[in-house]
Structure 1
C-alpha cells in the first residue's frame, strides 16, 4: 500500500485486463459447449421418450396376454369353447367365472368369448364391438391380432387384442377371445401427456395408436418405415415446415414422434441466449467487483489496521490485516455472547431448558436444582401437579406448530395463572409441559384445575383444526419426582384409546374404566375366530365391534393386552397360508398397541382380508408341479425348527434343489422368503412354549432354534409387539380370570 499512485493504477489496470480476457474466453467456450449439450439433450430426450413408450406398450401387451391366459386356462372356459351347440347353463356358468377378471385392467371396455360352433358370444362389458369383422380378421391371420376398431353404437375408438382358441385342430381357430380397450386411454397411458404427434404402428404401416398433432402424419409414417435402423432422428421439411422426427423400433412395432422444429429449437435458442447474457453479466459484475474491492477496500486497510491495533481484543500476535480483523471480530462476538447469557430475554428460555432436561431425566435433579438457584429461580416443587398437552394430529407445517405451541403456553399462563403458579415448558413441536401449584393463597382446588384445563382445551379446539390429549397427575414432592410423574402422565394419555380424542385424563377418570368384575372376553374371541374360518364377514364385523366395546372399558394396558392376544391369533391364522402367486399379500403387520378404537377395528378387518386373500391364493397354487415338495419342506421345517443351523441351504439340499432356485419357488408358492418363514415358525413355537410350559425364556430360546436369548428377545418383540414375559403374563392373566368365573 506504500507504492505510488501511478504504480498502483498500473497494477490495477493489468489485473482488470487479465480478469476481463479470462472471463471472455471462458464465456465463449462455455456458450459453445452449452449449445451443443442442449441440442444433444433434446435428441436424447425424444429417443428416451420413445423407448419408455415401447416399454410401457410391452408391459401392457404382457398384461393383456396374462389376462387372456387367465381366462382360457380355466376349466370352465375350456368347457365353453368345447360346446358344439348352445347351452344356456354352460354359458351362464362361464360368464360368472370370467366376469371376475373384467375389471383387472383399467382400460378395459369389453371382452368377448366367441364360440362360432355353438353360435355363442359371451360379453363382459358392451357388446357393440363389431364382432363379425373381428372374427373375419382373426380367420384371415389364423393367429393373434391387434387392430383398431370402434364401438358400433357411438363410434368410440377401441384397441382390440384378439387371441385365437384351438379346441381340436390348429388349421384354423375354433373360437376367440377379444379384449377391447379404450384406445384414447391406452394412448394416454403409453405416450403420456404431450403437445406433439406420436404414433404406434406395425412395420407394415398398420396404425395402432395415435396422439397429438395430425399434420403430415402420412409422410412421417412413410419416412419411419423406410429406415432400417433401430432408432433414428432426422429433420424433415414437409410443406415448407420443418419437423424433428424420431422413431424407435421394438420387435415388429415402430414408435414415432414428430414435433414442429420451431417448438424444439426456439426454447433452446432462448436458453442459449439467456446463458450468454448471464455469462456476460457475471463477467461484467466480476470485473466491477474486482475494481471496487481494490479501490475501496484495500486502500483504507492501513487506517483500519491502525484503529484495530489499539483495540483491547488485539493481542499483538496477528500476522496481517485480515488476521487482525478476525481476531478483533472473534473477541467482540465472544463478549456479546457472554452478555446475551445475562440478558433478561435469554433467561426464560434457559429456565425452560433446565426444567425440560429435569423432566426428561437428562439432567440430575441435584444439578438442575443448583442451576435454578444460581439464577434466583425458586420453584415450589412440593405439592406440584404435572400437565402434558399433547397434539395428537400433526399440523401440516412447522410454522403453524410453533403458533399452536405458543398459544398453549399463553393460555396456560392467562387462564391458569390467576389461580395457580404455572411454569410452561415446550417439548418438541407437539407438546407443552406445565408444572402447576397453588399460588400460596391455597384457595384453588383440584376440580378448579381440571375446569381450567378443559377450558384451555375448548379454546384450542375452537381456534385450530387439531386433536389433542391433556394428561394430569401429581403430586411432586421434590425435583427428583418430576421424571417419574411425567412418565405416568404420558401413560395416562394412552387411555384416549377408550376415552377418545380431546380429553382431559387424570387417574380418577381412569378408574371409571374399570368394570366390575373384570372378565376376559374368551367367548367373543372364539366367535370371531369361528366367523373368520367360515368366511362370514358380516358376523365377523359384528363380533369385533362387540369385542372392542368390551375392552374399551379397561385401562389402556389391559385393553391393549387383550387386543394383542386376539390379533396375534388372527395374524397366525392368516400367515399360515403365506402369500402366493399373483396375490402379492404381504406378511400381516404384528401390531398390538393401536392408539384408537378405529385403528384397532381397521387392524382386525385387515386380518380378515389377509386371511381370505391368502386362502384363495393357496387354492389356486395346488396344481403347481413344485407344490407338494414345498409343502413337504414346510413340514420338514416344522420338524427341525429347533436346529439353530436350519436354513435355506439345508432345506434345499434335503429336497434336491439348488439354493437359489429353491428360494425362488418357495417364495412364489408360499409368499415368504424361506428364512422369514423359518423365523415365523420359531416365533409360533415359542408362543406355544410360553403358553403351555414353565420353561424359562433362555430355555425357550434354545428350544425354538434361536442362537442366543438376546436375539430371541429382540425378534419376539419385533414380530409380536410384546416381550416374551409380557406375552406369558397376558396368557396367565386370561387363564386366571377364566378360572375365577
Structure 2
C-alpha cells in the first residue's frame, strides 16, 4: 500500500509542495538575519544613549560644582572674611557662622555639594555644613583621606594652588564612614595663582557618579567607568582599576572609534567629554549584546521547526489527497476502458488521452440524443393529444422538461390537411408529402414561434395554438389570420393547397385532448362538405344525431379524476358530455340510452376498483348507479351521476385523509423516538415509513404547515429547554443528548427558535422559579 501511495504522481505533487514550502522558509531565514542585526544595533544604540545621557548629567553636575565656587566670590560677607587681615581686628564669630550657614544652604541644592568644605587661610578655619571648625586638626579627625597625614593633607590640599583640579578616586573617611571619593579643589579667589587666600574642597562619593552608569550594568550585565583626561579612573562599576588602565591605553591607540571589540567578544563603546576631556567607557558582554537576538533566535528556530514539521505533514497530506483522485480516476478508466498505462508517457497523458476519447464519444452521443429529442418531444405531444396525462401539473412538469412551451393554458387544436393527394401511395408521393409537411411547419414557426406542431399520418399536421387568457377573445381571429397567411404562402410559393379544421377552445391542458378529437371529427366532415383551401370550425359543423359523443380519452380522464377524488374535474367532464350530446346534438332515445349505459359502465368499473372492491360503500354506490334510468328527466339523470361521483370522491378523499393522518402519526412518533439521533434525516424517515421522501416532505408540509427539519428542531429545542431547567447537565452534554453534533450548532438553533441563548434561558427560568433565592438562603444559612 505504501508503494501505491508513493507513486510518481504522488512524488511530483510532494516535490512541488516542498518547493513552495521552501520559499517562506528562505524568507523567514532572511528576516531572521535582519532581525538579529537590528536587535544587535538596537542594543548598541541603547547602551550608547545611556552612556551619553550619563555623560550629559555628570557634566551638568560638575558645571554646577564649578559654578558654586565661582558664586562664592559674589557673597559679600564671605569675601570680607576671605580677605581679612590681622589689622582688621578680632574675628566676627557670629558673622562667620552665618556665612557658613548661608553657603551650606546653597550647597544643598546639588547632592554633589553636600560634602564640601572651605578653608580660610587667614583665620585658619574650615567652614562646613553650616559649622565653623577653628581647629583644623579636629576637622581632619572627622573628614580625611586615608592615605594622607594631617600635614600632607594641609599642605597639598588646603594650602596648595589648585585651579579646578579633579583628584581621582581615593579612600576617604567621612564622619567615621569609609568612602571612595572624587575631589574637586579650587583655590580662592579663583584667579589667585601665587597667593591663594583659601581653598574650596568638594568631595563627591564615587557611588553617586557610578549610579549614573548602573543602567548599563543592570540592563546588559556589563561594566562602565569614567577616566579623567590623564587616564586615571574617576569611578567604575563592574570593573577593577587595573583593567580600566588597559582599556584606556587601547582607546588612545584607536582614537576616533566609538565602537570596538575586546578579545572576549565584549563590545566596547566610549564617549569623550568636550567639557573636561573625561572618557566615558562601557563594555557590553556578548551575551548581553545578543540577549534580544537570542530570544529572536530561539523563537525563529521554534517557529521554523514547527512550520517545517507541520508544512511537511501538510505537503504529504495534500500530495496524497490530490494524487488519490488521479489514481482512482486511472483505476476507473482502466476498469471501464481497459487502456494500458505503460503505453503512455505518464499518468496525465494516460488520463488526457482517454478523457479526450470520452469527450469525443460524448459529443457523438449528444448529437444523437439531440436528434432523438425531437422524437421524444413529438411522442409527448401525441400523448397529450390522446389524453394520456391524468393531471395538469404532470403536463406542466413534462413541458418544462422537454422544453415544449405554451403561451398560456387556453387555445385551440387544429389539423392541417394537404389537399390533392387522395389515397395515392408510392415513394415519390411520400417524399413530396414529407417535404410539404416540413415547409408548412417551418412557415408556421416563422409566423408564430410558440406554435406546437406534430405530424398526423403522411398528409396532415396537427397544430396547437395557445394564448394568454387576456388574449382569449382575439384568439379565433388570430388563428384565421395565421391560417389565411399560411394558405396564401403555400399556394403562391409552392402550389400546395391545404385545408384546416379547428376544434373548440380548451381552457386547460387536460382539455387539449378533447379539442383534438373535435378537430378529428370535423376532419371527417370535410370529405363531403369541404373542398379546396378552406377552413372549418368544429362549432360550425352540423352534428350527426345517430352518434353520441363519449370518446375513449374523455372516459379515461373521467376514470382518473374519480379515482383521485377530484370532484371539480369530474363535474367538468360530465358537463362537457352532457352539453355535447344534449345541447349540441339531438340524440334519439335509443342512442341516449346507449350513452347512459356507457357512462354507467364507466362508473361501475371505477367504483369497483381494487381499493374499494367488495366494500359496503362500493356496493351501495354500484346499486345506486344501476337504479339510474332514462325514464327520469335527462337533467335529473345527470344530477344523479354528479351526486354519485361526488359521494365516491368524498370516500376517496376520506380514505386519503385517513391514510395521510396515519402516515403523519407514524412520522411524528418516529421523530419523537429518534430526535436524539444526529443522523436523523428525511431519508431515514421515508425508509422507516415506507413512503417516498418527496411525498413525506409534501404531506408533512400540507398537514402541519411546516417542514420536517423545522419540526425536528422544535422537538430538540423543547427537550433541551426542559433539560436546562430540570438538570445540572452542561450545555455540551445537553446538545449531544438532543441530537446535535456540536454545542455551537445547538446554541445557534436554540437562539433561532427561542431568541435567547441556552445560558440566558437557564438563568432566566431559574430566577423566575426562585431558584436563585433559595440557593442564596442556603448559602447564607451555611
TM-score (norm 2): 0.36
Of the two, which has the highest radius of gyration?
2
